[in-house]
Amino acid sequence: MNRRIVVTGLGAVTPLGVDLPMSWKALLAGRDADAPLELFDTAGYRCHRAASAMLPPLPNVSGKKMSRLSRASRLAIPAARAALAQAGLLDTTGKSTCPLIPLSVSTTAGGMAFGETFLRNVLARNRAHLLSQVSRYLPHEQVLNLQQTIGFEGPSVILANACASGANAIGHAADLISVGDADYVLTGGFEALTELVFGGFDCLQATSVDRCRPFDLHRSGLLLGEAAAFLVLESEEHALGRGAKPICELTGYGHTTDFFHLTQPQPEGKALLEAMQRATTQARINPAQVGYINAHGTATPVNDGTEAQAYLSFLGESLGQTRISSTKAAIGHTLGAAGAIEALFAIQALMTRRLPPQINLQTPIPEIAHALVGAEETCSHLRHVMSVNLGFGGSNAALVFSTYEN
Amino acid sequence: MRPLFSPLMKIDLAVVGQGAVSPAGVGVVALRGVDPVPTEIAYVGQPDKTWPVLRVNLKNPAFVRWQKEPRLRRASPISFFMVEAAEQALANVSARDRADTGLIVSFCAGCLAYSRRFFEGIVSEGQRSASPALFPETVFNSPVSHVAGVLGLNGAAYALVGDETAWIAGLKTASVWLRQGRVKQVLVLGAEEFDPVALDAYRSAHWLSRQNPAHNFLPSEGAAGLLVRQSQAGDSLIIAKAQDGLVYHSKKEASVVAERLLRDSDPKIPFYPNAQRNWFRSLERKFGEGLIAIPGSDQRYLGEAFTASSAWRTLRALQRLTTMTPRIFVPVWGLNHQVGSLELEMRT
């Protein structure tokens, strides 16, 4: 990085809680949010479960306005507000005190539930309210909702690199600061459960009808989830100049593209390995210095084996010293939000020295069994953590966060 | 008055390759050819009614070579538009240099056709009929992956989403990657595909009206792209500056940001009128009065295809740079989020 980039604010809404502290506490306790899905009828699908989030209240937003917001916006707005609040960039009315803060955000489906309603009505030849449905499904509508509700505007980038999008959005925000195009950026990702996506993963038989068991020999698929997570990234001089206290430093970002197959990674995980190597090179550390990796770990048969191979290659003999877990067993796979919420969990581990356990394990993959985080593990010497994501289409991304030392 | 933020930012991208697929044909030259002929397409929700649409002719021989690509076997039309436009832009790039080329694609609706077919299958035939062949192709990132895979682009790849201004975000992101040295060059594409359900959407927004044929909004599809690298001495075609982030929440606010965009532009630089038949037309005419307009920008109408339209119009404006007109200001009117602009330059 050309400039040091610090994290000054974090905010999240997850299936484990309406804010980050609540979610983190539940995560450390080994809880999961796997439950019957009630947002839409799942009768004809194989899988009927998901990790749904409870929508937090939105202070200072009128009922009329609230009724117009997509579920995705209902998740994103409180998470973004929490990040800005921790960074000291939110006033008492819930409005941003930095009206021109750039935004780098990720999603895969935006407000797709509105798009689904639109199509159902078009097919049923019901022309009432079509405009309000179709105009709210596009991802830039959620960006508009964020900007209008929180009171900021300015350049925005929406990344849709499938399940790696969240890490890419954070990495892009860091790039903007690094080259001097921005001093601070609100960044993160959001995703709401929708039927189109649920039906898609279900027909691919990628969802599990059993528990979600990342890195288990008998894993049978993923648990879909929903979440929003945001960070405020700043250049060090900007943060210190305004008296903000850095939480940690973003020291590395690597991203690569894997051509192997549209929906499957190259079996040895070469592109993921390269993304991790680029991130640690940028962070000027060697892989053994990474104390904890929040893994992608979807619990699909193909992904986790590949990912394990990549960790073996990346960490070599230090595998085991570096602790690994996938938090998707607890909150589900939140797709466009995954890279962001998992980065936040990695940062929480860095700051608290407590590691999220790998839950639902019965028979761990032997190659990395000794590296998977057990219950109530702590790591007193943690200085660098990594968050890793892979996505449809071959997107691979890795972020390194390090303790901040002035 | 709202503040005008994010001034024109210097991005200095040298254009070293161009490619286009549009209803006017395949290739950049076709962008200034004869107007394409629309096809009448029926609304999904009212099959007895039609609206004229500008379609890309997928039977064009240029697409045949791509039909043999295993990666494109199940791909939707947008992937074919993109891979063809990309290959044109990369025509002079060796396999070795392709491996160090980044790819950024901007979409508005993205993989609309397969998304509609996939979910219509669930609605009409039941949840057990959901198609595993269609679903992966509904993901924004899929056509990006196809282009990278088919053309051997090993560098970073991003799929960006937004309205017409996502094209600007793509160019700005390319500038960031190049300044960081992440890649040697970047291929920036804008791409959209048409699906009949879009007609139902545009009608609900009152964008389709037969009352005034001069304002007839014709939905369209296609792709276009620029291969860019950091400018060096001797480069002639330059995307010099970019501006985005002029957000609006209503048509009233759109009027305010449109006025400020044009009012704050350098009056000595000719501008390329860009709102041909969409609802920004009247605003552009009103606030562009007094600016020097490049004549003839209205003469070819390729229809409205969001990010692809932005790309086509940028390519067409690049064609208008001459030693007599070495700089052109191109407003980019996003139809549902924000407005922005590009400043193009010919250096001698």
Using DSSP bridges, classify how beta strands A49-50 and A5-13 pair: parallel, antiparallel or unpaired: unpaired
**How many interchain CB pairs under 8 A, A with B?**
203
Please list, in sequence order, all residues whose beta carbon lies within 8 angstroms of the beta carbon of residue B218, skipping any fewer than 6 positions away.
Answer: B38, B52, B53, B54, B277, B301, B303, B304
Q: How confident is the model at residue B5 (pLDDT cuts 50, 70, 90)?
A: low
pTM above threshold 0.95: yes
Please list, in sequence order, all residues whose beta carbon lies within 8 angstroms of the beta carbon of residue A374, skipping any fewer than 6 positions away.
Answer: A357, A358
> What CATH fold (topology level) applies to the domain A252-402?
Peroxisomal Thiolase; Chain A, domain 1 (3.40.47)
In the stretch 91-110 of chain A, residues with CB closer than 8 A to chain B read: 99-100, 102, 107-108, 110
Cβ contacts of B250 on chain A, cutoff 8 Å: none
Cβ contacts of B123 on chain A, cutoff 8 Å: 119-120, 123
Supply the Cα-derived Rg of chain A in whole angstroms.
20
Asked if B154 and A271 count as a contact pair (C-beta separation under 8 A), the reply is no
In the stretch 34-53 of chain A, residues with CB closer than 8 A to chain B read: 42-45
pLDDT digits (tens, 9 = 90+) for B254-292: 999 999 999 999 999 999 999 988 999 999 999 999 899
CB contact under 8 A, A257 and B148: yes
CA pair distance A250, B31, nearest whole angstrom: 45
CB contact under 8 A, B109 and A108: no
Q: How confident is the model at residue B181 (pLDDT cuts 50, 70, 90)?
A: very high
Closest C-alpha among A349, A356, A354, A347 to residue A325: A356
CA pair distance A329, A294, nearest whole angstrom: 12
Instruction: Report H helices in A17-163.
Output: 20-28, 63-68, 71-86, 112-123, 130-134, 139-150
pLDDT digits (tens, 9 = 90+) for B104-149: 999 999 999 999 999 999 999 999 989 999 999 999 999 999 999 9
Asked if A247 and A6 count as a contact pair (C-beta separation under 8 A), the reply is yes
Name the residue of chain B whose CA is nearest to A259's CA: B149
- Cβ neighbours around B263 below 10 Å, total: 13
Domain boundaries, chain A: 5-241, 252-402
Residue B299, pLDDT > 90, answer no
Helix (H) or strand (E) holding A329: helix A328-331
What is the reported pLDDT for A192? 98
| ipTM over cut 0.90 | yes
In the stretch 11-30 of chain B, residues with CB closer than 8 A to chain A read: none
Q: In CATH terms, are A5-241 and A252-402 the same topology?
A: yes
Which two tokens mark A251? 């020291």
CA pair distance A32, B41, nearest whole angstrom: 49
CB contact under 8 A, B160 and A135: no
- Cβ neighbours around B128 below 10 Å, total: 13
CA–CA distances in Å: residue B163 to residues A392, B307, B333, B341: 23, 7, 9, 13
Which residue reads 């809404």 in tokens?
A: A13
Cβ contacts of A130 on chain B, cutoff 8 Å: 200-201, 204
CA pair distance A237, A231, nearest whole angstrom: 17
A333 catalytic per annotation: yes
Q: For chain A, 406 residues long, give each residue's pLDDT as a single digit of tens.
A: 579 999 999 999 999 999 999 999 999 999 999 999 999 999 999 999 999 999 999 998 999 999 999 999 999 999 999 999 999 999 999 999 999 999 999 999 999 999 999 999 999 999 999 999 999 999 999 999 999 999 999 899 999 999 999 999 999 999 999 999 999 999 999 999 999 999 999 999 999 999 999 999 999 999 999 999 999 999 999 999 999 999 999 999 999 998 888 888 888 899 999 999 999 999 999 999 999 999 999 999 999 999 999 999 999 999 999 999 999 999 999 999 999 999 999 999 999 999 999 999 999 999 999 999 999 999 999 999 999 999 988 999 999 999 999 8
Asked if A213 and A360 count as a contact pair (C-beta separation under 8 A), the reply is yes
CB contact under 8 A, A392 and B149: no
What does B38-67 look like in DSSP terms, one character per residue? PEEEE-SS-TT-EEEE----TTSHHHHHHH
Helix (H) or strand (E) holding A398: strand A395-402
Q: Is B159 on the interface with A (CB under 8 A)?
A: yes
Which of A40, A138, A148, A191 should one mutate to test binding to chain B, selecting the residue with the greatest count of B CBs within 10 A? A138
CA–CA distances in Å: residue B6 to residues A51, A204, B1, B165: 39, 44, 16, 14
**Active-site residue, selected from the candidate residues A163, A212, A248, A379:** A163
CB contact under 8 A, B180 and A42: no
Q: Is B158 on the interface with A (CB under 8 A)?
A: yes
Q: Which of A108, A205, A255 sits opposite B139 (nearest CB)?
A: A108
Cβ contacts of A203 on chain B, cutoff 8 Å: 130-132, 135
Please list, in sequence order, all residues whose beta carbon lies within 8 angstroms of the beta carbon of residue A338, skipping any fewer than 6 positions away.
Answer: A163, A166, A189, A191, A227, A296, A328, A389
> What CATH fold (topology level) applies to the domain A5-241?
Peroxisomal Thiolase; Chain A, domain 1 (3.40.47)
CA pair distance A156, B173, nearest whole angstrom: 11
Q: Which of B5, B140, B336 sits opposite A153 (nearest CB)?
A: B5
A296 catalytic per annotation: yes
Which of B158, B241, B257 should one mutate to test binding to chain A, selecting the residue with the greatest count of A CBs within 10 A? B158
For residue B297, give the amino acid letter. S
Asked if B170 and B150 count as a contact pair (C-beta separation under 8 A), the reply is no
pLDDT digits (tens, 9 = 90+) for B31-49: 988 889 999 999 999 999 9
Q: Is A131 on the interface with B (CB under 8 A)?
A: yes
CA pair distance A304, B83, nearest whole angstrom: 31
What is the reported pLDDT for B1? 43
Q: Is A302 on the interface with B (CB under 8 A)?
A: no
Measured N-to-C along each axis, helices A112-123 and B112-125 cross at an angle, to the nearest 10 degrees, of: 60
Phi, psi of A80 (to 5 degrees): -65, -40
- Cβ neighbours around A61 below 10 Å, total: 16
Q: Which of A121, A157, A205 sits opposite B160 (nearest CB)?
A: A157
- Long-range contacts at B259-265 (CB < 8 A, ≥ 24 apart): B259/B283, B259/B286, B259/B287, B260/B2, B260/B4, B261/B287, B261/B331, B261/B339, B261/B340, B261/B341, B262/B287, B262/B288, B262/B291, B262/B331, B263/B287, B264/B4, B265/B291, B265/B329, B265/B331, B265/B341
What is the reported pLDDT for B155? 85
Supply the Cα-derived Rg of chain B in whole angstroms.
20
Report the gap between the CA of A29 and the closest CA in chain B (Å): 35
pLDDT digits (tens, 9 = 90+) for B197-253: 999 999 999 999 887 766 689 999 999 999 999 999 999 999 999 999 999 999 999
Q: Which residues of B170-185 are buried (b: 16+ CB within 10 A; e: fewer)?
A: bbbbbbbbbbeebbbb
Name the residue of chain A whose CA is nearest to B4's CA: A154
pLDDT-above-90 percentage for chain A: 95
Report the gap between the CA of B33 and the closest CA in chain A (Å): 33
- With residues binned 3-state (H G I as helix, E B as strand, rest as coil), the percentages for chain B, rounded to 5, are 35, 25, 40
Instruction: Report H helices in A159-248.
Output: 165-178, 195-203, 236-241
A248 catalytic per annotation: no
Q: Is B117 on the interface with A (CB under 8 A)?
A: no
Phi, psi of A113 (to 5 degrees): -60, -35
Measured N-to-C along each axis, helices A139-150 and A71-86 cross at an angle, to the nearest 10 degrees, of: 40
Secondary structure (3-state) at B87: helix
Helix (H) or strand (E) holding B167: helix B166-180
Q: Which residues pair with A402 in a beta bridge?
A: A249, A384
Which residue reads 């790591």 in tokens?
A: A379
Asked if B341 and B280 count as a contact pair (C-beta separation under 8 A), the reply is no
CA pair distance A403, A382, nearest whole angstrom: 8
Using DSSP bridges, classify how beta strands A395-402 and B9-22 pair: parallel, antiparallel or unpaired: unpaired
CA pair distance B153, B294, nearest whole angstrom: 36
